[in-house]
Structure 1
């Protein structure tokens, strides 16, 4: 197995929305804002090469939306999926599977593109299966008013229409708060094997049945954190995004996950932290906190 970080493009989001009720004087220490209160955000995807299978985890925003749409997100830098794939010797047609942690536009928008004459939409990865789960698919295709603006039909429905949509199985989760020892005992309840090349932790706080991939690579345990832990600044348990639909579920989910990550030396791959690609965490008197920061090349040459 080989892993490759794929940069799909950077953007900016309102810092207050990213940190909910946490005062700016606290979150700005780790995520400084510009004059418009916007903070740097990445859309860092992960490519998994395993034999003849090439799996891309998340696809960023894509580029099919209007100028008005992208005007809200202040894109910066010149990264793209195609450019990043090419740098590693791949083309999007080589991708056999696209695994979407969830179907918010900044995680799945790149999965679908305009057709040639711009009269409709088609899969951006023509040879790939698109992986979601049944509960989240229903949640996304029948959205609540809170999340409706994040679940865009043009990003989602063409997957089903193309016949390329597949679902992973899902476990029932215990969402009670756990001590580190309890979290270790319960780990088998929430680390479930997927039909792909990694395990999945299902989390419901941000959105219903978000999927967090967990895998081992070069002797290291790696977790693709998606929106369970967007940035380093979100490590303290109360630092929960305003975007989360069930913040009181995010708290025990994050606590359980971070306790195990600290106990078992997980390397946390941060999808949205523009300046800290990978971190480890440790137990402190204040709870689980940052241990070390890494670039990809520092860990995997």
Structure 2
């Protein structure tokens, strides 16, 4: 098995929205804001090369939305999904599976592209199976008013229309073992219904792709919960369980949205589980 970090682009979001009720005087120390209160974010994906399968975990925003749409997210930097795949030695047509932690636009937008004359949409990975789960799919295609702006039909419905949509089987536990994709999945419901967090066994150590349960290293304290979460009071115990699980199993945590910290480890302190080490993906992969 080989792993590759795929940087799908950088953007900015309001720091207050990213930290909910936490005062700016606190979160600004770890995630400094610019003059417009925006903090720097990444769309960092993970490519798993395992035998004859090439599994892409999340896809970033993509590039098919309007200039007005992207103007809300203040894109910066030179990273793109295609250039990062090429750097790893691959093309999008090589991808066999696209695993989506959840279907918010900043995770699934790159999964779908315009057709040739921009009259409709089609899967950006024509040879891939697309993976979500039935509960989350239903949640996304019949969105609540809180998340409607994050679940864009053009990012979601073409997966089904193309016949490439597949569902991971769920269980009564928050941990799915031996999934169809060859890795375990940690399920959480605080951010959105049945978000899936993959756990990769790699060279004798586990790497967990934290998605939006732990968007940046600055979100390690349990009460530091995003304003975007649909069930923030559920996120807190889920994050506490997750961090204990990470600590007990000595895992690497790959951060999807932290523009400056790619992988972290954690340790127990008097204040709770906190940051231990920061590593680049190249240090681990």
Q: Same fold (TM over 0.5)?
A: yes
The residue correspondences of 1:37-76 to structure 2 (distance < 5 A) are 37-76=37-76
Matched, 1:251 2:236: yes
* Matches of 1:294 and 1:191, distance apart in 2: 27
* Matches of 1:172 and 1:150, distance apart in 2: 27
Query: Residues 6 and 47 of structure 2 are in contact (CA less than 8 Å); yes or no, is this contact kept in structure 1?
Result: yes
Q: What's the secondary structure of 2:46's corresponding residue?
A: strand
Q: What's the secondary structure of 1:43's corresponding residue?
A: strand
> What is the RMSD of the two structures over their aligned residues, measured on CA atoms?
0.8
Structure 2 equivalent of residue 229 of structure 1: 214
Cα deviation per residue 1:63-120 (whole Å; 9 max; x = unaligned)?
A: 0000000000000001011100101110000000000000000000000000000000
Cα deviation per residue 1:194-224 (whole Å; 9 max; x = unaligned)?
A: 1002100010000000000001112221000
Matched, 1:130 2:130: yes
Shift of 1:283: 0.7
Q: What's the secondary structure of 2:240's corresponding residue?
A: helix
The runs of 4+ residues in structure 1 deviating greater than 4 Å are: none
Cα deviation per residue 1:135-165 (whole Å; 9 max; x = unaligned)?
A: 0000000000000000000000010000000
Matched, 1:265 2:258: no
Q: What's the secondary structure of 2:9's corresponding residue?
A: coil
* Matches of 2:226 and 2:170, distance apart in 1: 24
Query: Residues 53 and 97 of structure 1 are in contact (CA less than 8 Å); yes or no, is this contact kept in structure 2?
Result: yes
Matched residue count: 285
Unaligned runs of 5+ in 1: 174-188
Structure 2 equivalent of residue 289 of structure 1: 274
* Matches of 2:247 and 2:266, distance apart in 1: 5
The two structures have a TM-score, normalised by structure 1, of: 0.94
Shift of 1:191: 4.3
Query: Residues 230 and 271 of structure 1 are in contact (CA less than 8 Å); yes or no, is this contact kept in structure 2?
Result: yes
* Matches of 1:191 and 1:141, distance apart in 2: 23
* Matches of 1:290 and 1:138, distance apart in 2: 36
Query: Residues 171 and 192 of structure 1 are in contact (CA less than 8 Å); yes or no, is this contact kept in structure 2?
Result: no
Query: Residues 9 and 76 of structure 1 are in contact (CA less than 8 Å); yes or no, is this contact kept in structure 2?
Result: yes
* Matches of 2:171 and 2:226, distance apart in 1: 25
* Matches of 1:88 and 1:287, distance apart in 2: 37
The residue correspondences of 1:1-301 to structure 2 (distance < 5 A) are 1-173=1-173, 190-300=175-285
Shift of 1:255: 0.2
Q: What's the secondary structure of 2:258's corresponding residue?
A: coil
* Matches of 1:191 and 1:254, distance apart in 2: 17
* Matches of 1:127 and 1:138, distance apart in 2: 24
Q: What's the secondary structure of 1:9's corresponding residue?
A: strand
The two structures have a TM-score, normalised by structure 2, of: 0.99
Shift of 1:40: 0.4
Shift of 1:190: 2.0
